[in-house]
Amino acid sequence: MSDDLLEHLRATVGGEHVLVDDADVAAYVVDWTGSYAGRALAVVRPGSTAEVAAVVSACHDAGVAIVPQGGNTGLVAGGVPDASGSQVVLSLGRMRAIRDIDPVAGTITVEAGVVLADVQAAAAGAGRLFPMSLGSEGSCTIGGNLSTNAGGTAVLRYGMTRELALGLEVVLPDGRVWDGLRALRKDNTGYSLRNVFIGAEGTLGIITAAVMRLFPPTPARATAWVSVADVTSAVALLGLVQAHAGAHLATFEIINRAALDLVLTHQPGAHDPAPGTDWAVLVELAGTAGLDASLEAALGDAVEQGLVEDAAVAGSPAQRSALWALREGISEAQKVEGATLKHDVTLPITDLAAWTARIAPTLEAILPGVRLVTYGHVGDGNLHFNLSAPVGGIASDDALRAAAGELSTAIYDSVAEASGSISAEHGLGSTKAAAAASYKSDVEVDLMRTIKDALDPQGLMNPGTLLP
Ligand code: FAD
Ligand code: MLT
Ligand code: ZN
Q: Among 136, 374, 426, 431, which residue has the most ligand 2 atoms within 8 Å of its CB, making it the best to mutate?
A: 426
pLDDT of residue 395: 79
Closest residue CA from atom 2 of ligand 2: 376
Q: From the CA of 331, give the closest atom in ligand 2.
A: 8
pLDDT tens digits for range 206-243: 999 999 999 999 999 999 999 999 999 999 999 999 99
SS3 for the chain is CHHHHHHHHHHHHCHHHEECCHHHHHHHHECCCCCCECCCCEEECCCCHHHHHHHHHHHHHHCCCEEEECCCCCCCCCCCCCCCCCCEEEECCCCCCEEEEECCCCEEEEECCCEHHHHHHHHHHCCCECCCCCCCCCCCEHHHHHHHCCCCCCHHHHCCHHHHEEEEEEECCCCCEEEECCCCCCCCCCCCHHHHHCCCCCCCCEEEEEEEECECCCCEEEEEEEEECCHHHHHHHHHHHHHHHHHHEEEEEEEEHHHHHHHHHHCCCCCCCCCCCCEEEEEEEEECCCHHHHHHHHHHHHHHCCCCCEEEECCCHHHHHHHHHHHHCHHHHHHHHCCEECCEEECCHHHHHHHHHHHHHHHHHHCCCCEEEEEECHHHCEEEEEEECCCCCHHHHHHHHHHHHHHHHHHHHHHHHCCCECECCCCCCCCCHHHHHHHCCHHHHHHHHHHHHHHCCCCCECCCCCCC
Ligand closest to the CA atom of residue 140: 1
* Ligand 2 pocket by Cβ (under 6 Å): 75, 135, 330-331, 342, 376, 384, 386
Q: From the CA of 340, give the closest atom in ligand 2.
A: 9
pLDDT of residue 260: 98
Q: From the CA of 327, give the closest atom in ligand 2.
A: 3
Q: Does the Cβ of 161 fall within 6 Å of ligand 1? A: no
| Residue 77 alpha carbon to ligand 2 centre in Å | 14
Q: Does the Cβ of 206 fall within 6 Å of ligand 1? A: yes
| Residue 331 alpha carbon to ligand 2 centre in Å | 6
pLDDT of residue 394: 76
pLDDT tens digits for range 356-414: 999 999 999 999 999 999 999 999 999 999 999 999 877 799 999 999 999 999 999 99
Ligand closest to the CA atom of residue 382: 3
Q: Does the Cβ of 431 fall within 6 Å of ligand 1? A: no
pLDDT of residue 1: 60
Mean pLDDT, the chain, rounded, equals 97
| Residue 33 alpha carbon to ligand 2 centre in Å | 11
pLDDT tens digits for range 78-135: 999 999 999 999 999 999 999 999 999 999 999 999 999 999 999 999 999 999 999 9
Ligand closest to the CA atom of residue 385: 2
Q: What percent of the chain has pLDDT over 70?
A: 100
Q: Does the Cβ of 140 fall within 6 Å of ligand 1? A: yes
For the whole model, what pTM was predicted? 0.98
Q: Does the Cβ of 203 fall within 6 Å of ligand 1? A: no
Ligand closest to the CA atom of residue 145: 1
